[in-house]
Amino acid sequence: MASSYFLSSFIFLELALVVILFLSPAFSTPRRALDQRQTVLQSGFRVSLKHVDSGKNLTKFQRIQRGVERGRYRLQRLCAMASATISDSQVDGPIRAGNGEFLMDLSIGTPPVSFSAIIDSGSDLIWTQCKPCQQCYHQPTPIFDPEKSSSFSKMSCENHLCNALPSPTCEGDVCQYYYEYGDDSTTEGVMATETFTFGNSKTSKVSITNIGFGCGNDNFGNGLDQGAGLVGLGRGSLSLVSQLKQPKFSYCLTPFDDTSSGTLLMGSRAGANGGTNASNIKTTPLIKNPTQPTFYYLSLEGISVGNTFVPVISDFEKDGSGGVIIDCGTTLTYMFRSVFDGVKQALIAQMGLPVDDSGASGLDLCFTLQSTEEPPEPILINYPRMVFHFKGSDLELPPTNYMVRDSVDKICLAMADSGILGMGVIGNIQQQNFLVTHDLVKETISFVPTQCDQL
């Protein structure tokens, strides 16, 4: 009977120990991590943005010129992606846009390692350089070493994110990726999951587990060296937005001559605040291009310059080309040749200033401000109104969002001809000092005039 008593007591103590261990933090981490992730995502978060040329000894127009040069390459890649009619198996690898104009600070791993990455609304993959490097380009922060992170895990080939890659390969059941950008820059490595931390000392930091990303061991090309990797914000399943299942996100981009930071807002923090006048919110539907699910397409119906209306045909072609996208990684707005020519002629007719044909600025249309009087008199500039007519909403741009000053004697149009490439792109100069909100549930984009350095 005593042995039976001791046996029952032992079983009871053993069961109690199992319950205690199960409920302890060490054994309940997965559930607690999941709850923490849900809490973080429900509350949303914000991240500061800075221009890739921030801190360099450049004038505003020099920054714009550098951005224009990068933007020309980017436009070629975006158009090539949109009109591609061959399968990825017929080329060495998928060609992606790459490059970009704004950086975000974030951290990766446990303990966290900080780095800056380019945000790119024209692509999906998140990636950074990783040790051991077969080939890595210079970056200002230490290269991430997965061996020193307790939360790093290589991704299985059965993972749905691996299957979302354009052309994944497998090696020992580890998912491998390869991306090629239009300027011959490349990144190659393994897919993995990690803990990413967003925010800085000025904002509350949040850590989110199990984010899928590319750990690049072989990276090459000058087109990538503005940051230590990319954070895709596109509509595909690999992007940060899709992985976090965020219903919406916003960004607010500061002007090129502004040394302050822009902002990226995720989740519940995205969108206009309660004090915004409803009449200031301009909303238009997002459009899906079946051949290019990554891009954010809009229905732009026309552009007004003063009293001149220039129609825009933004339908898709059978091969997926055409249409107009909004993109934070392209500096200028690029329009179809007929549209650009119409805007150009309307400005020439209405500005009342002599056209500068020197081509020194690198932009397609400039006006000279130099007076012919002796002594020269200051010239009063009468800017015509410029309005983008989207489906369901008209967005008026302030002059600083479509005309840029080259020097004391020249101003230029921040728009260019997309040529025969067949795609319209609304660039970031036109978006500066607007809070641009992508609502992925309602499938809309909204614009609210905002002083972005004070957001």
CB 418 within 8 A of CB 336: yes
CA 395 to chain centre: 21
CA–CA dist 193, 299 (Å, integer): 36
Whole-number Cα distances in Å, 270 to 238, 328, 377, 443? 20, 16, 47, 14
Cβ burial of 428 (10 Å; 0-12, 13-18, 19+) is buried
Query: Which residues lie closer than 8 Å to 265 by C-beta, 6 or more apart?
Result: 44, 45, 46, 249, 250, 251, 252, 271
CA–CA dist 222, 138 (Å, integer): 10
Query: Which residues lie closer than 8 Å to 145 by C-beta, 6 or more apart?
Result: 113, 130, 131
What would the two tokens of residue 210 be?
A: 């199990």
What count of other Cβ atoms lies within 10 Å of the Cβ of residue 253?
25
Whether the upstream peptide bond of residue 132 has omega within 30° of 0, thus cis, is yes
CA–CA dist 224, 217 (Å, integer): 14
CA–CA dist 256, 258 (Å, integer): 5
Assign 134 to helix, strand or coil: coil
Q: Which residue numbers are catalytic?
A: 120, 327
CB 127 within 8 A of CB 238: no
What would the two tokens of residue 28 be?
A: 């309940």
- Which CB contacts under 8 angstroms, 24+ apart, belong to 9-12? none
| 113 sits in which H/E element | strand 113-120
